[in-house]
């Protein structure tokens, strides 16, 4: 068997696949952050909490309402998106004229509240959620057994990322959106309802977080704490990629997932910090991020 640094090459491919799975989560989450940032100029600290809410809702849906995974894949993001719209209407919209830091602080407070509430309701040990029947089992790829569910995660999240990219870059709605980002006053003057666009953008951005949450539900333990540790890594991903482009944030997410996967084999102790280290290096040589433009 061929080996690289003492690791069989087949095992390495396996790890690459797993890195891709984690990268998919990073990609969807950082995409949501990028969409929100592009329009509202705020960093949504509540993103992790809403991701958790997406997963929790999936469980609640099955446990209390008998709604299965596939329906929740649709309903979960919608619910989270509605929560997002409520947040935007009730709170965020009053902050647009102020320093953007207030948006960060507000969403940080919201993150604490959402997390605390779910913890109070359901405890911290978390809830089990089994993989839907259609997706249980595994593919034999020759070099590894890839559980079908993990493969599905990659497919589903890449589809959603592509869809988002298409809508924003290629459709009329996306054109309005980009125009509103570039110059809100002028766009408003053209008769486009900019506040509505802003509201929908925020709703859509957090819906992406909710979608990632639903995807994560069967793969990890659904617990109120699942979002808060992840979100800091995603922040680093966003800094590395820069907020410039939709495609950039997706590619960075996937790439970092793969790098992290490799590190887990060769230097597992560093796998928690490797993303931060890469961030430090990128900051030294390309402060605006890999795909970012200096504003």
Partner 1 sequence: MNRRVTVAYLIGLGLLLIAPTFLYPILVMKVLCFALFACAFNLLLGYTGLLSFGHAVFLGSAAYVTGHALKVWELPTLLGLLAGTGAATLLGWAIGSLAIRRQGIYFAMVTLALAQMVFFFFLQAPFTGGEDGLQGVPRGTLFGLDLAEDINLYYLVVAIFAGSFWLIQRAIHSPFGQILKAIRENEPRAISLGYDVAKYKLLAFVLSAGLAGLAGATKTLVFKFATLSDAHWHTSGEVVLMTLLGGMGTVFGPVVGATVIVTLQNELADKVGSLVTVIMGAIFVICVLAFRRGIVGESLALYKRMIGQKL
Partner 2 sequence: MMKRKLLALTLSALIVPAAGSALAQAKGKISGDVVKIAVLTDMSGVYSDLGGKGSVVAAEMAIEDFKAQAKPKFKIELVSADHQNKADIGSNKVREWYDTQGVDMVTDALNSAVALAVAKVTTEKNKIMINAGAASTRLTNEDCAPGNVVHYVYDTYALANGPGKAVTKQGKDTWFFLTADYAFGASLEKDTTDAVKANGGKVVGSVRHPLNASDFSSFLLQAQASKAKVVGLANAGGDTINSIKAANEFGLTKNQTIVGLLTTIIDIHALGLPTTQGMMFTEGYYWNLNPETREWSRKFFSRHKKMPSMLHAGTYSAVTTYLKAVQATGTDDTATVMKQMRATPINDIFAKGGKIREDGRMVHDMYLVEVKKPAESKEPWDYYHVKQVIPGDQAFQPMALSRCPAVKK
- Residues lying near partner 2 in the complex (CB under 8 A) are found at 8, 11, 14-15, 18-19, 21-22, 25, 116, 119-120, 123-128, 130-131, 138, 144-145, 147, 149-150, 219-221, 223, 225-226, 229-230, 233, 261, 264-265, 268-269, 271-273
* Residue of the chain from 11, 75, 112, 259 that contacts partner 1 (CB under 8 A): 112
Least Å from the CB of residue 8 to partner 2: 8
Least Å from the CB of residue 252 to partner 1: 14
Residue 79: which of partner 2, partner 1, none does it interact with, CB under 5 to 8 A by kind? none
What are phi and psi for residue 146, nearest 5 degrees?
-100, 115
* Residue of the chain from 10, 188, 221, 273 that contacts partner 1 (CB under 8 A): 273
How many residues touch partner 1 under the rule CB under 8 A: the total is 42
Least Å from the CB of residue 87 to partner 1: 10
CB 209 within 8 A of CB 50: yes
Binding to partner 1 (CB under 8 A) within 210-229 occurs at none
* Residue of the chain from 4, 65, 86, 117 that contacts partner 1 (CB under 8 A): 117
**C-beta of 91 vs 225, nearer to partner 2:** 225
Least Å from the CB of residue 190 to partner 1: 28
Least Å from the CB of residue 163 to partner 1: 26
**Which residues here bind partner 1, judged by CB under 8 A?**
37, 41-43, 91, 94-95, 98, 100-102, 104-106, 108-117, 119-120, 232, 235-236, 238-239, 269, 272-273, 275-277, 279-280, 283-284, 287
């Amino acid at each position: 068997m061929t080996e690289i640094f003492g690791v069989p090459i087949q095992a390495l491919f396996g790890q690459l696949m797993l890195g891709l799975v984690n990268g998919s989560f990073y990609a969807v989450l950082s995409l949501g952050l990028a969409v929100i940032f592009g329009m509202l100029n705020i960093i949504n600290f509540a993103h992790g909490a809403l991701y958790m809410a997406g997963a929790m809702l999936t469980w609640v849906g099955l446990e209390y309402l008998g709604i299965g995974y596939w329906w929740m894949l649709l309903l979960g993001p919608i619910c989270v998106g509605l929560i997002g719209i409520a947040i935007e209407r009730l709170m965020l919209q009053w902050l647009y004229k102020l320093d953007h830091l207030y948006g960060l602080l507000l969403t940080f407070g919201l993150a604490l509240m959402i997390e605390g509430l779910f913890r109070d309701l359901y405890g911290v040990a978390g809830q089990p959620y089994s993989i839907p029947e259609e997706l249980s089992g595994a593919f034999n790829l020759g070099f590894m057994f890839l559980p079908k569910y993990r493969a599905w995660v990659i497919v589903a999240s890449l589809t959603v990322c592509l869809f988002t990219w298409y809508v924003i870059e290629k459709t009329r709605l996306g054109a309005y959106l980009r125009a509103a980002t570039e110059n809100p006053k002028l766009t408003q003057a053209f008769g486009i309802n900019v506040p509505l666009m802003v509201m929908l953008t925020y709703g859509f951005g957090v819906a992406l977080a909710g979608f990632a949450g639903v995807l994560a539900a069967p793969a990890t333990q659904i617990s109120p704490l699942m979002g808060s540790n992840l979100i800091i890594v995603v922040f680093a991903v966003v800094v590395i990629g820069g907020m410039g482009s939709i495609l950039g944030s997706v590619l960075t997410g996937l790439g970092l997932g793969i790098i992290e996967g490799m590190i887990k084999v060769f230097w597992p102790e560093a796998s928690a910090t490797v993303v931060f280290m890469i961030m430090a290096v990128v900051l030294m040589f390309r402060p605006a991020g890999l795909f970012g433009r200096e504003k």
